[in-house]
Amino acid sequence: MYVCSCFGVTEKQVKEHADAGACTPRDIASASKAGTDCGGCVRSIQALLGRGDCPRRELLDGRRQPAQEPAGHPEPVVSPSPLPEAA
């Protein structure tokens, strides 16, 4: 059965992409273009993907990676002021 009639993507193809690691409708769109034209199939794609396990980018080998600094301005390193010399 067709899920995306704009690009002729079937339910089977969506499931194959999901089995290959696609976790979101955006992942499916990247793999097959489904959902990128009229958008009428996005809810169907979401339903096919369900709420199954999807590895998070911050998880690798079962370990949580340290948080990365946000892009932009890093926190300045502030050195303590020298104490005034005693007279």
**How far, CA to CA in Å, does 5 sit from each of 8, 48, 52, 79?**
5, 16, 25, 62
Claim: this prediction has a pTM higher than 0.85: no
CA distance 42 to 58: 26
Between residues 60 and 30, the one the model is more confident about: 30
80/72 Cα distance (integer angstroms):
25
What digits encode the pLDDT tens for the residues 32-54? 999 999 999 999 999 999 876 77
pLDDT exceeds cutoff 60 at 66: no
